[in-house]
Homo-oligomer: A and B are copies of this chain.
Amino acid sequence: MRVSELSRRSGVPTATIKYYLREGLLAPGEATAATQAVYNDGHVRRLRLIRALIGVRGLSVSDTKKVLDAISEPGTGTHDTLGLVFGVIGPDKPECGEPPAPDQEVDALIEELGWTVYELSPARQKVAETVAALSSLGLDFDWRSLVPYAKLAEQTAVLDLDQLESTEDTLEKAERALLVTVLLEPALLALRRLAQESESLSRYPR
């Protein structure tokens, strides 16, 4: 298809598509003339993914490129590719190459849960910061307080990984993993708020 058709099918304006091509977010189409190229279904799918990461999740263009490059790296097994998706993208945004300091509280938590996780996962650092913040505020809170939360996170992760079972293709699994992980985040936090509100009403009736 031509770029105009690609624009129509993906809902992304032609000028934006050309910008993504220049920035390397989107692979070039197959050249048919000096100034013309044709695109395929893979381009449509990639554009939807870019739109989701930038438009819905608010990632910057350069962070989006890092994430897309990471999942397209060839020759890596399913777990390593998924590990990249789950590990590289920090909880808020990609924080590539920022090794966290080892933290005894987080190590104790992970051992208690029996999880096998990469030592340099930026998520470890986030957990450590939260425990430190809550205990510095004088709340009686340490890694043990996080155990029941972590067990619920475990069940959430099972649901997440179930979403990837519908395809065998590693790259497609990675794309789905990225979407489910990143796009579901605001909804999971929102569901927690709604559940808190409902639970609060049942404990403290008006």
Residues in chain A within 8 A of chain B (CB atoms): 45, 48-49, 52, 56, 77-80, 82-83, 86-87, 89, 91-92, 110, 113, 115-118, 121, 123-124, 126-127, 129-131, 133-134, 136-140, 146, 148-150, 152-161, 163, 166, 176-177, 179-181, 183-206
**A86 to chain B: which residues have CB within 8 Å?**
193, 196-197, 200
**A131 to chain B: which residues have CB within 8 Å?**
187
CA distance A127 to B52 in the complex (A): 15
> Which of A152, A155, A161, A166 gathers most chain B CB within 10 Å?
A152
CA distance A195 to B198 in the complex (A): 27
| From B79, B159, B180, B200, contact of A79 by CB (8 A) | B200
**A116 to chain B: which residues have CB within 8 Å?**
197-198, 201-202
Whether B199 pairs with A154 at a CB distance below 8 angstroms is yes
State the copy count for this chain: 2
Whether B121 pairs with A197 at a CB distance below 8 angstroms is yes
Whether B149 pairs with A152 at a CB distance below 8 angstroms is no
CA distance A113 to B193 in the complex (A): 14
Output the nearest chain B residue to A159 by Cβ-Cβ distance: B148
CA distance A121 to B133 in the complex (A): 27
Given contacts A79-B204, A137-B49, contact A153 B191 (CB under 8 A): yes
**6 shortest interchain CB distances as A-B pairs:** A130-B187, A157-B195, A126-B190, A123-B190, A153-B191, A115-B198
In the assembled complex, the CB of A82 is this many whole angstroms from the nearest CB of chain B, namely 4
In the assembled complex, the CB of A187 is this many whole angstroms from the nearest CB of chain B, namely 4
CA distance A196 to B159 in the complex (A): 10
Whether B187 pairs with A127 at a CB distance below 8 angstroms is yes
